[in-house]
Amino acid sequence: MPSSQEQNGSASRSLVLIKGGRVVNDDCITEADVLIEDGLIVEVQSNIEIRGGENIEIVDASGKLVIPGGIDPHVHFQLPFMGTHSVDDFYTGTKAALAGGTTTIIDFAIPKKGHSHLGAYEQWRKWADEKVCCDYGLHVAVTWWSDQVKADMETLVKEKGINSFKMFMAYKDVMQVSDSEMINIMSTCKDIGALAQVHAENGDVIAENTRRLLQAGVNGPEGHAQSRPEEVEHEATVRAIMLANQTNCPLYVVHVMSKTSARAIADARREGRIVFGEPIAAGLASDGHHYYHQCWRHAAAHVLSPPLRCEADTASFLMDLLANGDLQTTGTDHCTFTSEQKAMGKGDFSKIPNGINGVEERMSIVWHKGVTSGKMDACNFVAVTSTNSAKIFNLYPRKGRIQVGSDGDVVVWDPTATKTISVATQQSVSDFNIFDGMKVSGVPVCVIANGRVVVRDGKVDAVKGSGRFLPTLPYSAAVYSRVSTRDQVRAWKKVERSVA
Ligand code: URP
Ligand code: ZN
Ligand code: ZN
Ligand code: ZN
């Protein structure tokens, strides 16, 4: 058999050969080498031989796992929010992603109420295209409703590569949409084959609790947690699931932070509803006691919505559901603000910019908390950190799989190496890391994005603007395969009566 090089031997080809590792996909593990040529995986088999003096980069993966690059379906880079903008932009954010073994991110274009959704999409594309170091996709948040918004949603799906729309049930008067708006948005998603996403918290309750807490003098970060207790998230999750069921629209619940919400999603799935749930790195590895920390800066750094929960077993419960397939993906909601930005909320917790880090830490956290704990195996790990997101957002098998024809986004993963997460060594330009000091086992030793080695031995060699926008098509099979049958089964029933 001629080798790859003999078959087509142009000296200008870019070749990366990963040798001697165990290739892990979500459904199988094989001992194989992986050859990447000009950004695409071209061979996956044992003992790939390349002869001649071609310029080939060899990566030794013996004793290591070779996994599909991670996909973080939930980040907010340079997000204009709460009077400032998140400090990691599309350059530092994607650099951080790569450092942690994530080679695809999906951000959210979010228009202000009354502003154009197409305009927001174009703005985010402009911000991202010039800075991204890895491939990226976009969700679009629908923050208000009109016939024009409906038309824009259709254009975004048909012409702009968008297949998911997010609704905020919180952030009253800013991004929150009402139930009737949600019904319109979900119905439109269903008509055009898009996935509806929700930030599930009851914004009206939060607004009232915030007013009362501030009136009572509870103005520190602990007020943030108390303004939005678990049932506030749970109620909105259940309501979103009900609205999605009534419109027969598939639903994806972002940042599932509480046991009751996670259970609601799991129960709904068992009843046959088309619902997906995404816990985030922070919720899988931290908890709400930080809001009661003496140090204001420390407490404020943990402010995100929904908040971390105080019950000590929430994180392990979320991991159990992830491992069992009740929850499907892991995101981060990476949306970082410096201590100075967080200080905008000194004296009024409701003005602390909401957001935390995680894009660099997610993969190691999921391995550490999920695999080394014995809850999931390496295939489950690949599923929840990469493949399931690729399937749900219709990027599969281009992303989320190591096979011939897929993109050359591959991570050499050392399952036993350890790392202590540190704000001093992070790629994020924020001055805080909510996981600082945490020792994790399972680290990426080499990261290849689009066929280029971008991380090796802890050194990140990312190129600004080298990532590509990933247009996503509607009617993802993982999401929509049951929808039309469900429509037929659930058709309205009319009784024909002979007497009126
Ligand atoms: O606190 C958060 N989650 N900040 C980012 C915006 C959002 O709600 O996802
Ligand atoms: Zn949110
Ligand atoms: Zn502190
Ligand atoms: Zn978010």
Number of domains in the chain: 1
pLDDT tens digits along 202-246 = 999 999 999 999 999 999 999 999 999 999 999 999 999 999 999
In a domain, 32, yes or no: no
In a domain, 172, yes or no: yes
Percent of the chain with pLDDT over 70: 97
Task: Calculate how far, in angstroms, residue 103's C-alpha sits from the geometric centre of ligand 4.
Answer: 19
pLDDT tens digits along 29-48 = 999 999 999 999 999 999 99
In a domain, 25, yes or no: no
Ligand 1 near 307 CB (within 6 A): no
Residue among 200, 202, 182 nearest 253 (CA)? 200
Which residue segment(s) compose the domain that 464 sits in? 66-481
- According to the model, what pLDDT value does residue 1 have? 39
**Cα dihedral sign for 38, 380, 27, 332?**
negative
pLDDT tens digits along 111-156 = 999 999 999 999 999 999 999 999 999 999 999 999 999 999 999 9
CA 296 to each of CA 292, 340, 347, 352: distance values in angstroms, whole numbers, following the listed order: 9, 12, 10, 11
What confidence category does residue 7 fall into, taking pLDDT thresholds of 50, 70 and 90?
Answer: very low
Bridging pattern class, strands 164-168 and 195-199:
parallel
Ligand 1 near 224 CB (within 6 A): no
Distance separating alpha carbons of residues 243 and 27, to the nearest angstrom: 33
Ligand 1 near 259 CB (within 6 A): no
pLDDT at 199 over 60: yes
CA 280 to each of CA 339, 357, 397: distance values in angstroms, whole numbers, following the listed order: 22, 10, 23
pLDDT at 9 over 70: no
The residue whose CA is least distant from atom 3 of ligand 1 is: 305
pLDDT at 412 over 60: yes
In a domain, 15, yes or no: no
Query: Which residue out of 169, 305, 334, 350 has the highest number of ligand 1 atoms within 8 Å of its CB and is therefore the one to mutate?
Result: 305
In a domain, 215, yes or no: yes
Ligand 1 near 175 CB (within 6 A): no
What confidence category does residue 8 fall into, taking pLDDT thresholds of 50, 70 and 90?
Answer: very low
In a domain, 117, yes or no: yes
In a domain, 490, yes or no: no
In a domain, 139, yes or no: yes
Ligand nearest to the Cα of 81, by number: 1
Question: Can you tell me the ipTM of this complex?
Answer: 0.97
What confidence category does residue 309 fall into, taking pLDDT thresholds of 50, 70 and 90?
Answer: very high
Ligand 1 near 387 CB (within 6 A): no
Average pLDDT over the chain, rounded to an integer: 96
The residue whose CA is least distant from atom 9 of ligand 1 is: 333
Segment 365-371 shows an average pLDDT of: 98
Q: Are 72 and 31 in contact (CB under 8 A)?
A: no
Segment 354-372 shows an average pLDDT of: 98
The residue whose CA is least distant from atom 5 of ligand 1 is: 355
pLDDT tens digits along 390-404 = 999 999 999 999 999
Angle at Cα 129 formed by Cα 281 and Cα 171, nearest 5°? 50
Ligand 1 near 336 CB (within 6 A): no
The residue whose CA is least distant from atom 8 of ligand 1 is: 305
Could you tell me the CATH number of the domain that includes residue 187? 3.20.20.140
- According to the model, what pLDDT value does residue 51 have? 73
Dig out the tokens for 371 from the structure: 């695999």
For the CA of 305, the closest atom of ligand 1 is 1
